[in-house]
Amino acid sequence: MKYAIAFARFWYDFIVGDDWQIAAGVVAALAIAALLARGGLPAWWIPPSAVVVLLSLSLRRATRD
């Protein structure tokens, strides 16, 4: 059990890292893009815009102090 928790923790730290809000934001942005695409609307601008917004907010949080 200890090893399973350590293994899960390693992958969490490796992929999600210091700011879980980036991961949550990416999932939310892609869900919106999928909805727009399914409705026949252009959605290609959402992923690059999400990168700019999420990274800027994350850097702002990291440098606030």
Q: Sign of dihedral through CA atoms 17, 19, 23, 26?
A: negative
Q: Pick between residue 8 and residue 44 the one whose CB is nearest to other proteins.
A: 44
The binding track of 5-24 with respect to other proteins, each residue x by CB under 8 A or -, is -----x---xxxxxx--xx-
36, 43 contact by CB (below 8 A): yes
* Gap between the Cα atoms of 64 and 57, Å rounded: 10
Number of chain residues interacting with other proteins (CB under 8 A): 32
Question: Closer to other proteins at the Cβ: 2 or 38?
Answer: 38
Q: How far is the CB of 1 from other proteins (least distance, A)?
A: 20
